[in-house]
Amino acid sequence: MNPPAYPDGLSAWGEPPLVTGMNVLTNPLLNKGTAFTERERDVLGIRGLLPPRVFTLEEQMQRTLISVRGKPAAIEKYIYLTQLQNRNEILFYRLVMEHIEEMVPLIYTPTVGEACLQYGSIYRRPRGMFISLRERGHIAEILRHWPQPGVRLIVVTDGERILGLGDLGALGMGIPVGKLSLYTACAGLHPGYCLPITLDVGTENAALLSGPAYIGLREKRARGAAYDEFIEEFVLAVKEVFPKALLQWEDFGNTNAFRLLHDYRHRILSFNDDIQGTAAVALAGVIGALRLTKSSLKQQKLLFLGAGEAGTGIADLFVAAAQAEGLTEAEARARCWFVDSKGLLVKNRGDKLAHHKLPYAHEHPFAATLEEAVKVLKPTALIGVSGTPQTFTQEIVTTMAKLNERPIIFALSNPTSKAECTAEQAYGWSDGRAIFASGSPFAPVEVNGRRHVPGQGNNIYIFPGVGLGALVAESREVTDRMFLAAAQTLASLVGPEDLAVGRVYPSLTKIRAVSLAIATAVAEEAHRAGLASAPRPRDLAADIQARMFQPVYREYV
């Protein structure tokens, strides 16, 4: 296939040369399967290589949908969809886009968690690149092995903190593969531009190291200078081989995640979705919830369970938003409190605090448990980013409901098995008054004759639009102001019909419109800040929409 022809950013996908025979049938971007016409089968030399009946794309999609729904378990559906993506990407994305609410939980959270745990045994064929410590000194050469030279978006993980599942090493590849599928389905980035990468630096997971199905290096995880030098070589190689690429850091351990974001955000176009994307989607949910509580950001007191990259990222963006409402930075930080594995985060706790926790260590008596912290701090919102399931107990939720007419309770940990509480628990224990959101989807709940629809505070609402906007503008950086703009845009798209059922995010069926609006806001901010390298079109939104990939078959003859 020819390299992408996007001289002005992301405007058109270069037409591939006419390939024939099995070459066209084994290329997922060119293959139409049973949709090749009679004339195409003759010209391309594939007559006899396919069943005789010619199907339309719509007919193929219906057959595929029946097959997916016929699988008894989510992981089997995931495997089927992965094989479909590897065989026919147009059909795969058409199916996902037209049945987005049904398919996203299968290709990403919560099913991707189980898929990562089993990745060694379900691995079928290459998708993305594994770059290990063995490739030190040759990473640029390895990147050139990728068949598409025009890569514009890389999602990379080192597998140390996969969702709430911990260190999965090379098995974490399911995350960048899944994220990039969402970039295409939700924001229209052409799949030919996307490159998933797993950096295999070893693992601390003893069960994996001794297991027969583990596909990564059987080594302890690299630390210190060896790790840093490997990452530095990788970043320099990306800049050399794919100079226009955006690099999305994904599911790195807390210490490395903050450090890598700080070290590289001004050196290469990049962001960390776990820190910045999670922050934006959570802040958008809080802003949406305030339309139900009839209050403002500066009136809130947030209590977080979990003080890692997600929690402190949310707090940092909340501080920026509260400052825009008139609070000082100190006043805004004083409204954010944290409980971690050692109890309430306070200055006199006695242990050495990680750098990212220090701004939120306040002067206050210590509280040993979350329940005690809720009672003494009286928060308006409880936000779970701990990866520890069932930690929002009935006593805690009941107390929140006593303190607030409409308590905000966000159980954001993924996958579903790691959620701090379920939607049914949050609504039931609060007599239906909770404003609830979760990281993975939950079904609607009826309490006292009223139907409540949980919002899914999933980063899917944020990162596809942010990435698209930054790429279209050819921004030199992805800034915190871009994520604030994304959060505010997302919150503005919550309609009266959403609020009527307690949902603080738009329906997932609107995700392409959401991504377009966020991409427009991000690109606008890039131009405002003087970071855009591309000229600003007269109609920014129309220009972006015209660039978005649509899953339709090309005509060969």
What are 194's strand-pairing partners?
153
Q: Which whole-number Å values give the CA distances from 402 to 151, 221, 375, 424, in the listed order? A: 53, 47, 10, 18
C-beta of residue 414 within 8 angstroms of C-beta of residue 310 = no
What are 339's strand-pairing partners?
305, 344
Cβ atoms within 10 Å, residue 528? 12
Residue type, 551: P
The token pair at 125 is 């064929």
- Cα–Cα distance for residue pair 339/488, rounded to 1 Å: 27
Residue with token string 């200078």: 225
Q: Strand pairing of 336-340 and 302-305?
A: parallel
C-beta of residue 30 within 8 angstroms of C-beta of residue 43 = no
Q: In terms of Cα–Cα distance, which of 33, 207, 38, 10 is closest to 557? A: 38
- Cα–Cα distance for residue pair 221/324, rounded to 1 Å: 42
80 a catalytic residue: no
C-beta of residue 249 within 8 angstroms of C-beta of residue 478 = no
Instruction: DSSP for 101-158, please give it.
Output: HHHHHHHSTTHHHHHHHTHHHH--S--SEEEEGGGTT-HHHHHTTSS-TT--EEEEE-
Which runs of E-coded beta strand occur in 245-327?
246-249, 270-272, 302-305
Q: Let me know how long the chain is.
A: 557
Classify residue 398 by burial, with Cβ atoms within 10 Å: 0-12, 13-18, 19+. middle
Q: What single-letter DSSP state applies at residue 354?
A: P
**Starting from the edge strand earliest in sequence, which strands make up the sheet with 270-272, in order?**
129-132, 194-200, 153-157, 246-249, 270-272
108 a catalytic residue: yes
Three-state secondary structure call for residue 553: coil
- Classify 279 in phi/psi space as left (phi over 0), alpha (psi -120 to 50) or beta: alpha
Three-state secondary structure call for residue 271: strand
- Cα–Cα distance for residue pair 464/520, rounded to 1 Å: 12
**Candidates 119, 179, 553, 556; catalytic one:** 179
**Candidates 6, 78, 93, 108; catalytic one:** 108
Sign of CA dihedral 508, 511, 514, 515: positive
Active site residues: 108, 179
